[in-house]
Amino acid sequence: MIKRGKFIVFEGPDGCGKSTIAKMIRNELLDIEIDCVLTREPGGTKTGEKIRDILLNKDNIISASTEALLMASARAQHIEELIKPSLNLGKQVLCDRFVVSSLVYQGIGRNLGINRVEKLNEFAVDICPDLTIFFDLDYETALGRRNIRKTSDRMEDMDDDFHYKIHEGYKRIYSEYKEKYNIIRIDSSDKIEKVFCTAFDKVKEILEV
């Protein structure tokens, strides 16, 4: 019988470095011949990536509730089409963002309320991460990293107040929901190699390798 894979999620505010670390972890796992897929939200499937384009395109006017629904729609497709089938084949699934992003960005950032966004996601989600790594770094450093990027999307283009809310929102979700979503916090302000080593140790622990 195939042993079901583990579902590992990478979370944090824009500019926290999670996507770079997720890629490094994927490469390292493949090097040691551990079958894994790296995917992302919103996106991860053909349909989900189309929804991502709508969500992140600066020309689009999208209300807060529409935004939350589209995030959840892309997630529902992602779970059914990619995440669950991969886990059932024994692959380890590494996912750049998941439900916690909706709780923070839509629940707190857009003021929809954490409970309402969580309820909305109940319709789309029937799995829980085995591990969620929250990459935490100080607000100023994240801001600096965002500012040196040449392009920005509809979310990154939000004002500093919004991003500050997101920053504080992650800390709140971590303190109140860490058991529910299996969240651990990593200090992401260290050098990238150090952050990678800390994150990779946690991943190996969960994968028992």
Q: Which is nearer to ligand TMP, 118 or 190 (CB)?
A: 118
Give the C-alpha separation, 198 to 190, whole Å: 10
Q: What is the largest CA-CA distance in the chain?
A: 51
Q: Which is nearer to ligand TMP, 90 or 144 (CB)?
A: 144
* Minimum CB–partner distance for residue 2 and ligand TMP (Å): 28
* Minimum CB–partner distance for residue 40 and ligand TMP (Å): 6
> φ, ψ for residue 107 (rounded to 5)?
-65, -50
Q: Is residue 67 within 8 Å of 123, Cβ to Cβ?
A: no
CB proximity list for 140: less than 8 A, separation 6 or greater: none
* Minimum CB–partner distance for residue 87 and ligand TMP (Å): 19
* Minimum CB–partner distance for residue 169 and ligand TMP (Å): 11
Give just the sign of the alpha carbon dihedral 188, 192, 195, 199: positive
Report the length, in residues, of the chain: 209
Q: Which is nearer to ligand TMP, 5 or 42 (CB)?
A: 42
Residues that bind ligand TMP (CB under 6 A): 14, 40-42, 71, 97, 101-102, 105-106, 155-156
What DSSP state is assigned to residue 5? P
Q: Which is nearer to ligand TMP, 4 or 172 (CB)?
A: 172
